[in-house]
């Protein structure tokens, strides 16, 4: 995409003649279906039509549905705003221009209504445009009431006859969303023109769509990113000979991952689309993307399919996908297919809002040029080869325009809308059936409910999890009294080896197990219409290493209870549904001050809100207890907060807001403490990618933890980092060709500067993020030296995944080496970790077992010898004695000499550094002194306990290796994470590992036990 050459083609005129020869065909074909053809009685907009033809680069890149534009005396065409036709070269509208046009349509026609559906993080508006007959739009509320009954069959007592009546009367809603991915630029203009066609075209084919259903359109999903992308494109037009800056920021926080947020719902765009989809009781959510030539309707995609969707839906995918391809094949449009390498396992994609709420999820990948230039495009053989699912493949090489893209998008959508309308009774009935089967879930496949016990040690995180479910429109109840359920007995796998164990199993009778829950426990009933999203988020995932799909498209595991660090119990006992319970509207963890005294204590259970409190009450004196203690009849964990010099009223207010329970103590505990200070935090990003760190920013902003957001370039410019900062966070880059890429950035040996700053052409680029005159330079060797000095002088540097590799490989730490995996495959999975050093402040509030997000490491190994590679495990190693006399356990002998006893071999665990030997200590200048050695806080679980959710293959490579390491370096520390503790709003249970580092930055050595030698 760096080739900015703009091809203004003149040869296109040749094709115009071909288009004009296309005569309109009769409205009804012999097969009884309405023909996809224009109404010969309706005039066409000649100049607009001529331009469509001019900008279409080949006659087969269009269809009878979009190769003309119907004329209207009253309704403006997109040209009114664009100054040219939709998809014209060089034309890319800002969101506000797209909205302006949609509102012009609304003004000009009773067939259009525009709704505001919320704002983005940067305050830009999002809209939804409804196009339908005036009759349908007048009766929106009546129709919504009908759809609501189908969406919630409890309202009609699961009465199929009643449902059939509603199905016969209801008008379905088909929701289309555009340009969530900002460099995929075609959808807004395609959707402007689509809205016009649906409003104006009198051909029977379009009329049927308009009268039969409501088309709902959000033309721009990522509005902040759209405006940045248009800026970049304008800069490119103004500097046609220069390379243009890559779109490093899309939304305020994340880029491409904005289409991975449909589980956690942390971004405004997800929340706004979800509320619109659910609020309208829509049947379809169809999301438009651009990356694959020419139209990959990944509705069918590939396996494995998500286990929690209704098979009725997966059948609908096949129907719709196959039909869509068939319709476009008949138009002679090459490169349209529906089976492909996109698996439908993760429910994180925006379109999956529909799949998880009883609708139909759909996604198009069309072919875009990343802007509105017309360009010669050359494909890879795997893109143009003819396969069983792509009998009419794309061309190996072609001139491609944004208009071509708009033709494909509109043709695909119009045929989809028409097919959906023809079969709307079927789809509406299916919509009802999927909801009904959700309601019947407890007695069918189960479970009956999920229970979150009220005696949860992390009520704040529990409330966060429940609020995610509420955003997903899941109903939450609370038990009015204590109750007991029986738990299913886990069947032991029959042991293959001996007969004896089989006998023993028979004798060992399975004992029925029960579980008691206290009054007030949260119950998520599965007999509700949106049960399947709750089930999908709270259940465990298993991706078989033998699955034929070898390249998972995204994460393979996500179990929210595990990643939030809260108890979630899957209950299959139907009795749970009969307990007395009440619906909960607002979930809030109880908080505030209780007891008498002027010293206050808060138990530490690794709740992120503790850090918020620290920053919120800047003047309070806060300390962390280095040991556990008992006071006022309560047990306080290690790391619990002891607070002084604060007004009780202020603390009570803050703690109530944050859901923190504070105990006032008569006397201060006698336990050893150290200060908990509000560290001054720098948050470092590269100009290579801001995608993965964006999730960290979002988390810190949510928690109101202040920080300076600076780039690697800025590091080199700050004379004394220690004078400004206590902690430098360097979250994952997400794009890691090697440690030198962070230092070198992009090459400056050729090309032009790539500015990321606001200019007349680019007024939206910066927003509230960072800016630079040239994105290309990296940290630089000066910057690296600055970082090193910062740590040596007492600063704390925190890194994770790829930045941990950077820190170890570039030599910022001694005693930790990183390895890439050789056969391990952990693809975005939930894995087990184990607490190794409970005395470390990093571990405050954590239990022995912590679930964490892991995406293939890196694999850490420790050594007590500077410069040495740590020991790593590559499989099941076993050491046997050398060949000699006796049995395997006997000592060998040497003929003619008395036996000598060998010194006992020193052993260590795989997460530890191998013990220093006497030989190594001879002139041992490379031996790292005990106080300087890496300190392992968490390690990965043993191989058999590693997998919690998702795919873990070859896990022995990382099992037991360190997961979180605190490395002393000079007077400071480098804290290395192999897991990613802050990810997509899903891993809140591990946030406190980072927050603990921040709050205890100057006491990280607390509780440390040193090796003797
Ligand atoms: Zn995309």
pLDDT tens per residue across span 48-67: 999 999 999 999 999 999 99
Asked if 111 and 27 count as a contact pair (C-beta separation under 8 A), the reply is no
> Rounded distance, CA 730 to CA 803, Å?
7
Ligand 1 centre to CA of 2 (Å) is: 19
Model confidence at 749, pLDDT cuts 50, 70, 90, reads very high
Closest to 78 measured CA to CA, from 408, 415, 406: 406
Model confidence at 821, pLDDT cuts 50, 70, 90, reads confident
Digit-coded pLDDT (tens) for 922-964: 999 999 999 999 999 999 999 999 999 999 999 999 999 999 9
Does residue 794 register a pLDDT over 70? Answer: yes
Ligand 1 centre to CA of 229 (Å) is: 14
* Dihedral (CA of 264, 268, 269, 271) sign: positive
Ligand 1 centre to CA of 180 (Å) is: 7
Ligand 1 centre to CA of 4 (Å) is: 21
Does residue 115 register a pLDDT over 70? Answer: yes
So what's the pLDDT on residue 914?
A: 92
So what's the pLDDT on residue 512?
A: 67
Ligand 1 centre to CA of 488 (Å) is: 42
So what's the pLDDT on residue 978?
A: 98
Digit-coded pLDDT (tens) for 846-896: 999 999 999 999 999 999 999 888 877 765 556 678 899 999 888 889 999
Ligand 1 centre to CA of 373 (Å) is: 19
Asked if 120 and 224 count as a contact pair (C-beta separation under 8 A), the reply is yes
Ligand 1 centre to CA of 52 (Å) is: 25
235-239, 463-467, 899-903: least confident range = 899-903
Does residue 10 register a pLDDT over 50? Answer: no
Q: Which residue has the tokens 């051909």?
A: 203
Ligand 1 centre to CA of 277 (Å) is: 20
Paired strand residues for 398: 377
Ligand 1 centre to CA of 247 (Å) is: 14
Backbone angles phi, psi at 788, to 5 degrees: -65, -45
> Rounded distance, CA 666 to CA 685, Å?
46
pTM of the model: 0.95
> Rounded distance, CA 832 to CA 939, Å?
9
Paired strand residues for 706: none
20-29, 69-78, 471-480: least confident range = 20-29
Ligand 1 centre to CA of 306 (Å) is: 20
3-state SS assignment for residue 116 = strand
Ligand 1 centre to CA of 269 (Å) is: 15
Tokens of 996: 């603990």
CA distances from 23 to 18, 68, 858 (A): 11, 11, 62
Backbone angles phi, psi at 400, to 5 degrees: -130, 135
> Rounded distance, CA 56 to CA 15, Å?
8
So what's the pLDDT on residue 507?
A: 58
Closest to 213 measured CA to CA, from 175, 267, 161: 175
Asked if 51 and 77 count as a contact pair (C-beta separation under 8 A), the reply is no
HSE-up of residue 277 (Cα within 13 Å, Cβ side): 32
Asked if 75 and 420 count as a contact pair (C-beta separation under 8 A), the reply is no
Q: Measured in whole angstroms, how far is the alpha carbon of residue 494 from the centre of its chain?
A: 39
Ligand 1 centre to CA of 393 (Å) is: 21
Does residue 488 register a pLDDT over 90? Answer: no
Task: Please name the helix (run of DSSP H) or strand (run of DSSP E) that holds residue 997, with its range, or none.
Answer: helix 991-999
Ligand 1 centre to CA of 185 (Å) is: 10
Angle at 939 between CA 933 and CA 943, to 5 degrees: 135
Does residue 5 register a pLDDT over 80? Answer: no
Percentage of the residues of the chain whose pLDDT score is greater than 90: 89
Backbone angles phi, psi at 762, to 5 degrees: -130, 65
Model confidence at 22, pLDDT cuts 50, 70, 90, reads very low
Ligand 1 centre to CA of 181 (Å) is: 5
Ligand 1 centre to CA of 182 (Å) is: 8
Dihedral angle, C-alpha 739, 742, 745, 747, nearest 10 °: -10
Ligand 1 centre to CA of 981 (Å) is: 26
Ligand 1 centre to CA of 99 (Å) is: 22
Ligand 1 centre to CA of 312 (Å) is: 26
Ligand 1 centre to CA of 146 (Å) is: 34
Q: Name every residue whose Cβ is closer than 8 Å to that of residue 40 and which is 6 or more positions away in sequence.
A: 24
Angle at 96 between CA 93 and CA 99, to 5 degrees: 95
Ligand 1 centre to CA of 292 (Å) is: 10
Ligand 1 centre to CA of 364 (Å) is: 9
Model confidence at 31, pLDDT cuts 50, 70, 90, reads confident
442-451, 732-741, 917-926: least confident range = 732-741
Ligand 1 centre to CA of 258 (Å) is: 10
Ligand 1 centre to CA of 857 (Å) is: 26
Ligand 1 centre to CA of 291 (Å) is: 7
Ligand 1 centre to CA of 369 (Å) is: 13
> Rounded distance, CA 177 to CA 391, Å?
28
| Summary mean pLDDT of the chain | 94
Digit-coded pLDDT (tens) for 505-548: 555 666 668 999 999 999 999 999 999 999 999 999 999 999 99
Ligand 1 centre to CA of 289 (Å) is: 4
Ligand 1 centre to CA of 467 (Å) is: 28
Ligand 1 centre to CA of 255 (Å) is: 10
Asked if 954 and 825 count as a contact pair (C-beta separation under 8 A), the reply is yes
Task: Please name the helix (run of DSSP H) or strand (run of DSSP E) that holds residue 101, with its range, or none.
Answer: helix 95-108
> Rounded distance, CA 47 to CA 39, Å?
18
Ligand 1 centre to CA of 363 (Å) is: 9
Asked if 396 and 12 count as a contact pair (C-beta separation under 8 A), the reply is no
Asked if 736 and 805 count as a contact pair (C-beta separation under 8 A), the reply is yes
Closest to 851 measured CA to CA, from 606, 654, 625: 606
So what's the pLDDT on residue 508?
A: 63
Ligand 1 centre to CA of 282 (Å) is: 22
Q: Name every residue whose Cβ is closer than 8 Å to that of residue 825 and which is 6 or more positions away in sequence.
A: 545, 856, 951, 952, 953, 954
Ligand 1 centre to CA of 855 (Å) is: 22
Digit-coded pLDDT (tens) for 538-562: 999 999 999 999 999 999 999 999 9
Strands 173-177 and 284-290: parallel
Digit-coded pLDDT (tens) for 287-330: 999 999 999 999 999 999 999 999 999 999 999 999 999 999 99
> Rounded distance, CA 446 to CA 574, Å?
9
Ligand 1 centre to CA of 184 (Å) is: 6
Asked if 577 and 610 count as a contact pair (C-beta separation under 8 A), the reply is no
Helices 609-616 and 648-658 cross at an angle (nearest 10°) of 150
Does residue 1 register a pLDDT over 60? Answer: no
Which letter does DSSP use for residue 236 in this model?
A: H
Model confidence at 632, pLDDT cuts 50, 70, 90, reads confident
């Amino acid at each position: 995409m760096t080739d900015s050459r703009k091809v203004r083609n003149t040869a296109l005129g040749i094709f115009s003649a071909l288009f004009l020869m296309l005569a309109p065909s009769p409205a009804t074909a012999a097969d009884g279906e309405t023909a996809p053809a224009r109404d010969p009685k309706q005039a066409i907009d000649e100049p607009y039509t001529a331009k469509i033809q001019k900008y279409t680069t080949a006659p087969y890149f269009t269809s009878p549905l979009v190769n003309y534009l119907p004329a209207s005396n009253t309704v403006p065409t997109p040209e009114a705003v664009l100054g040219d036709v939709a998809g014209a070269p060089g034309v890319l509208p800002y969101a506000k221009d797209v909205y302006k046009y949609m509102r012009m349509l609304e003004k000009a026609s009773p067939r259009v209504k525009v709704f505001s559906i919320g704002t983005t993080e940067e305050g830009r508006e999002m809209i939804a445009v409804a196009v339908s007959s005036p009759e349908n739009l007048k009766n929106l509320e009546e129709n919504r009431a009908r759809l609501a009954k189908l969406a919630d069959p409890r309202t009609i007592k699961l009465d199929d006859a009643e449902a059939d009546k509603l199905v016969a009367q209801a008008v379905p809603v088909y929701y289309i969303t555009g340009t969530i991915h900002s460099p995929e630029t075609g959808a807004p203009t395609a959707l402007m023109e689509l809205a016009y066609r649906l409003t104006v075209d009198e051909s029977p084919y379009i009329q049927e769509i308009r009268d039969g259903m409501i088309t709902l359109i959000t033309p721009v999903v990522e509005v902040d990113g759209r405006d940045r992308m248009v800026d970049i494109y304008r800069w490119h037009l103004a500097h046609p000979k220069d390379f243009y800056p890559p779109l490093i920021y899309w939304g305020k926080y994340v880029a491409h991952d904005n289409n991975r947020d449909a589980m956690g719902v942390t971004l405004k765009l997800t929340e706004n689309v979800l509320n619109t989809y659910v609020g309208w009781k829509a049947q379809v959510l169809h999301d438009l993307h651009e990356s694959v030539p020419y139209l990959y309707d990944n509705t069918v995609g590939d396996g494995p399919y998500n286990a929690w969707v209704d098979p009725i839906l997966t059948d609908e995918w096949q129907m719709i996908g196959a039909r869509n391809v068939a319709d476009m094949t008949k138009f002679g449009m090459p490169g349209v297919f529906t089976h492909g390498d996109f698996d439908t396992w993760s429910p994180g994609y925006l379109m999956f809002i529909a799949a998880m709420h009883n609708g139909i999820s759909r996604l198009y990948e069309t072919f875009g040029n990343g802007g509105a230039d017309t360009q010669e495009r050359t494909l890879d053989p795997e893109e143009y080869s003819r396969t069983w699912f792509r009998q009419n493949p794309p061309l190996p090489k072609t001139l491609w325009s944004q208009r071509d893209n708009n033709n494909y998008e509109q043709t695909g959508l119009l045929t989809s809308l028409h097919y959906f309308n023809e079969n709307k009774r079927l789809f509406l009935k299916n919509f009802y059936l999927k909801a009904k089967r959700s309601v019947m879930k407890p007695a069918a496949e189960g479970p009956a409910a999920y229970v979150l016990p009220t005696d949860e040690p992390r009520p704040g995180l529990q409330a966060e999890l429940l609020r995610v479910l509420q955003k997903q429109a899941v109903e939450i109840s609370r038990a009015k009294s204590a109750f007991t359920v029986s738990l299913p007995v886990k069947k032991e796998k029959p042991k293959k080896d001996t007969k004896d164990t089989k006998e023993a199993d028979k004798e060992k009778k399975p004992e029925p197990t029960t579980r008691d829950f206290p009054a007030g426990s949260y119950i998520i009933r599965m007999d509700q219409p949106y049960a399947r999203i709750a089930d999908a988020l709270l259940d465990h995932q298993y991706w078989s290493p033998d699955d034929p799909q070898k390249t998972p498209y995204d994460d393979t595991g996500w179990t929210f209870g595990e990643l939030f660090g809260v108890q979630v119990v899957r209950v299959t006992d139907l009795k749970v549904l009969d307990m007395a319970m009440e619906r909960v509207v607002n979930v809030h963890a109880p908080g505030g001050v209780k007891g008498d005294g002027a010293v206050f204590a808060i138990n530490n259970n690794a709740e992120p809100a503790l850090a918020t409190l620290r920053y919120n009450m800047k003047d309070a004196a806060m300390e962390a207890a280095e040991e556990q203690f008992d006071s006022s009849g309560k047990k306080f964990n290690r790391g619990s907060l002891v607070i002084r010099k604060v007004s009780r009223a202020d603390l009570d207010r803050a703690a109530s807001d944050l859901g923190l329970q504070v105990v006032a103590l008569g006397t201060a505990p006698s336990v050893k403490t150290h200060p908990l200070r509000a560290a001054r935090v720098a948050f470092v990003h590269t100009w290579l990618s801001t995608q993965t760190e964006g999730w960290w920013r979002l988390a810190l902003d949510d928690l109101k933890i202040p920080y300076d957001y600076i780039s690697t370039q800025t590091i080199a410019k700050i004379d004394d980092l220690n004078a400004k900062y206590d902690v430098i966070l360097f979250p994952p880059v997400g794009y890691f060709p090697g440690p030198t890429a962070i230092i070198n950035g992009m090459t400056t040996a050729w090309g032009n500067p790539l500015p990321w700053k606001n200019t007349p052409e680019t007024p939206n680029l910066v927003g509230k993020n960072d800016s630079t005159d040239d994105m290309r330079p990296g940290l630089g060797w000066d910057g690296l030296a600055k970082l090193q000095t910062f740590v040596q002088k007492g600063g704390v540097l925190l890194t994770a995944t790829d930045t941990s590799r950077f820190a170890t490989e570039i030599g910022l730490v001694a005693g930790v080496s990183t390895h890439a995996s050789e056969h391990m495959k952990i693809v975005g999975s939930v894995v087990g970790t184990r607490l190794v050093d409970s005395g470390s402040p990093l571990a405050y509030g954590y239990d022995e077992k912590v679930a964490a997000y892991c995406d293939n490491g890196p694999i850490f190994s420790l050594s007590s010898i500077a410069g040495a590679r740590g020991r790593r495990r590559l499989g099941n190693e076993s050491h046997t004695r050398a060949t000699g006399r006796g049995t395997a356990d006997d000592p060998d002998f040497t003929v003619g000499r008395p036996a000598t006893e060998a010194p006992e071999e020193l052993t260590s665990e795989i997460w530890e550094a191998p013990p220093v030997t006497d030989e190594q200590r001879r002139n041992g200048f490379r031996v790292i002194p005990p106080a300087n050695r890496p300190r392992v806080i968490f390690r990965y679980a043993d191989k058999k306990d590693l997998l919690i959710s998702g795919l873990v293959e070859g896990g022995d490579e990382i099992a037991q290796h360190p997961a979180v390491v605190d490395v002393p370096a000079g007077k400071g520390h480098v804290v290395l994470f192999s897991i990613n503790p802050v990810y997509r709003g899903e891993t809140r249970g591990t946030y406190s590992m980072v927050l603990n580092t921040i709050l205890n930055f100057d006491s990280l050595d607390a509780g440390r036990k040193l090796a003797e030698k």
